[in-house]
């Protein structure tokens, strides 16, 4: 964890109000985008938060984990029925 992400997580832990947490996340552009009427109860900043877009009217509970990357494309490229693999996974935001 970088010092910046650690500091941001500490700041989120110091805020009791979900509205203040969302305001802080919006102000510091921690996520790619955050819509209107959003509630975020969790105080952990996920890895690669810039890959996450939160749309309008979203509620995120505590202890939610965002998987911003996986290894599916690596697994499929190793399959023997796909000669030479060839499956690529573009880098895009989690929506």
Q: Tens digits of per-residue pLDDT, 72-92?
A: 666 666 655 555 555 555 556
Q: Tens digits of per-residue pLDDT, 17-61?
A: 999 999 999 999 999 999 999 999 988 888 888 989 999 999 999
Rounded Cα distance between 71 and 50, Å, is 19
List all residues 6 or more positions away from 44 whose beta carbon is below 8 Å from its beta carbon.
Answer: 9, 12
Domain map (residue ranges) of the chain: 3-77
pLDDT at 88 (0 to 100): 55
- The band of 5, judged by pLDDT with boundaries at 50, 70 and 90, is confident
pLDDT at 90 (0 to 100): 57
Q: Which residue has the higher pLDDT, 37 or 2?
A: 37
Q: What's the whole-model pTM score?
A: 0.70
């Amino acid at each position: 964890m970088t010092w910046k992400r650690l500091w941001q997580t500490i700041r989120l832990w110091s805020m009791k109000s979900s509205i203040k947490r969302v305001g802080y996340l919006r102000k510091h552009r921690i996520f790619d985008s955050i819509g209107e009427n959003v509630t975020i109860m969790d105080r952990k900043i996920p890895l690669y938060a810039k890959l996450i877009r939160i749309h309008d009217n979203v509620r995120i509970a505590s202890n939610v984990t965002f998987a911003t990357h996986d290894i599916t494309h690596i697994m499929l490229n190793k399959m023997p029925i796909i000669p030479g693999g060839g499956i690529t996974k573009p880098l895009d935001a989690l929506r």
